[in-house]
Amino acid sequence: MIRTLIVDDVELAREAIRIRLQENKDFEVVGEAATATEAHSLIRQLVPDLIFLDIEMPGVDAFQLLEDLDPAHLPEVIFVTAHDQYAVQAFNSYALHFLLKPINDDQFDEAIRRARIEIGQRESRADGRERLSPGVEAAEHKSPYWSRLVIKDRDRFVLVKTEEIHWIESASNYAEVHVGTRSYLMRMPLSDLESKLDPLCFARISRSAMVNIERIDTIRALWHGDFEVVLKDRTVLRMSRRYRDRVLSPG
């Protein structure tokens, strides 16, 4: 059984999740909370495997609740909210899934499918050794840098693994993320996005572009001191001399 806690300040919202979970016999609702304070206490007391967590609640919000918890008591998290602007922060808080209110049945089914897979894999990894909670495992492997981007594309969210990105260019207050033959506009300035990506994997090559270092094929010097960066897909980018050490330095 997947022990589940539902946290939402609206009783009808909790009921909607509870009714859906009743149709899935491998999920057991072990508790409900209307505030982050109640949730904090119940998580410590019940040690659930999974929580459905509303983001906006009176007082402390969901993100602060997770920060305040001991990593040993962190369950898997499915965020639930009526506000899609929280999607990026939710996914980069290691959310298992993100549900928009009113909840769509297909998206709910996808969320619990992911919960089954992730919790099942966690239990398999625990075989033969002392079982760690998901929070402890996450803490052991957590990086300060993003491993994926969550980009709103019309009426959907696209999850892009950072390793799949070829290059990124500035587009005013947006960043245009190039992934193979596709590109997506992300509402974040390039300078802000740069701070979220691992500098061992991504390097700024000009004021307006940064590149996934693993996607570089060759670098050609130009007569005036700048360089051409040729990616493996044959995209050609300009690198200014000011940024050359970020790519050309050994390491």
For 219, the domain range is 148-248
- One domain, residues 107 and 38: yes
Greatest mean pLDDT among 35-49, 74-88, 131-145 lies in 35-49
**Among residues 141, 171, 186, which one ends one of the domains?**
141
- One domain, residues 24 and 55: yes
Place of tokens 């969901």: 62
CATH number of the domain encompassing residue 115: 3.40.50.2300
pLDDT, one tens digit per residue, over 173-200 is 899 999 999 999 998 899 999 998 999 9
**Among residues 116, 141, 166, which one ends one of the domains?**
141
**Among residues 107, 141, 175, which one ends one of the domains?**
141
β-strands 216-221, 227-231 pairing: antiparallel
- One domain, residues 210 and 173: yes
- One domain, residues 72 and 158: no
- One domain, residues 180 and 117: no
Asked if 87 contacts 80 with a C-beta cutoff of 8 angstroms, the reply is no
Give how many domains the chain has, as a whole number. 2
- One domain, residues 33 and 132: yes
Sign of dihedral through CA atoms 114, 116, 122, 124? negative
Question: What mean pLDDT do residues 16-20 have?
Answer: 95
- One domain, residues 26 and 137: yes
pLDDT, one tens digit per residue, over 52-110 is 999 888 888 888 888 888 776 688 999 888 877 666 666 666 677 888 888 888 889 98
Task: List 176's β-bridge partners, or say none.
Answer: 169, 185
CATH number of the domain encompassing residue 153: 2.40.50.1020
Amino acid code (one letter) for 57 = M
